[in-house]
Amino acid sequence: MLISQILDDAETIRVVARNGGKTRIINGARSVYSLAMEAARTGVGLVALIERKGLGEAVDLDAAYKKGRLLSPINHPDPAHLHLTGTGLTHLGSAATRDSMHKKLSADGEEQLTDSMKMFRMGLEGGKPAKGQIGVQPEWFYKGNGTMAVAPGAALLSPAFAKDAGEEPEVAGIYVIGDDGAPFRVGFTLSNEFSDHVTERVNYLFLAHSKLRNASFGPEILIGDLPADIRGTSRIYRDNEVLWEKPFLSGEANMSHTIANLEHHHFKYAAFRQPGDVHVHMFGTATLSFADGINTEAGDVFEIGAKDFGLPLRNPLEIEQPVKVAVKAL
């Protein structure tokens, strides 16, 4: 089952679902967030809860997308309580691109093992522990709160000071925190973990700076287990023509970590188990247009699609105007 959120003509949020047929409004659902919290509080599975509420009027989801009426598939009434985070070097092909960005040379000119390659090898050796065991922790980063989340179809804004504005096609887990602090997974969705790879390449310690950017996810959330082998395509359009296109792989068959291990190492922190919060946690990628020498420009459109996740995720690129920030003493 796939679920998403749209705005109707009266500017009211409608939660919609489809399960191999038409997209229909879920009766009585005010938002995906409220639906997920109801499922957490009642102990009823999300699919069962949707079936209990029933499906009503059919909706043309493609038309809503074209009209700019698709919302992020989950949000929080207070954007400060939605967390955008992620992990890197989790996919079997992810080390090559990152390693080439972070090459180190010893005094005699021989290449040393980069921190990226060390982290990648740690994942290969300990990222898929036996059931009930805890594996090695992955690289982790913070992208911001709900104010940084961009809806499908809306523009990803790159700061004027950014050195690069590049896509990262990923799968993200969507979570809510129950009233008792227990994390619940709503499902999985496509995401564009938009980043500044030139800034990151200057020095690996700039990784934190490079990740503080917008992110987009959706349009639809896949409820249920994540397919083991996900095959999608990432594209960049310029002037309505394909500028760059490449397949990407995800799912545990193509990863060096299990989803459970990545989830454990995120939610082991009490700060990420605050009742009522929403988490969008991105699981990494091995495909970047930056690695192929692509320099994106304002007006370019990113498109990330995979058949298991319904409609593709599309976002144009915009460059923000420079901002001068002055701090005043109180």
Q: What is the pLDDT of residues 23-37, one digit of tens each?
A: 999 999 999 999 999
pLDDT value at position 118?
A: 85
pLDDT value at position 286?
A: 87
pLDDT value at position 239?
A: 97
For the beta carbon of residue 238, count every other beta carbon within 10 angstroms.
15
Average pLDDT of the chain? Answer: 93
pLDDT value at position 105?
A: 45
Over residues 224-252, the mean pLDDT reads 97
Query: What is the DSSP pairing of strand 215-217 with strand 183-192?
Result: antiparallel
Q: Give the residue with greater pLDDT, 31 vs 123.
A: 31
pLDDT value at position 95?
A: 55
Q: Is the pLDDT of residue 126 over 60?
A: yes
Q: Is the pLDDT of residue 270 over 90?
A: yes
What confidence tens digit (pLDDT) does each residue in 239-253 have? 999 999 999 999 999
pLDDT value at position 230?
A: 97
pLDDT value at position 94?
A: 65
What confidence tens digit (pLDDT) does each residue in 68-118 have? 999 999 999 999 999 999 998 888 876 555 555 555 544 555 556 777 788
pLDDT value at position 61?
A: 96
Over residues 288-312, the mean pLDDT reads 96
pLDDT value at position 84?
A: 98
Over residues 51-65, the mean pLDDT reads 96
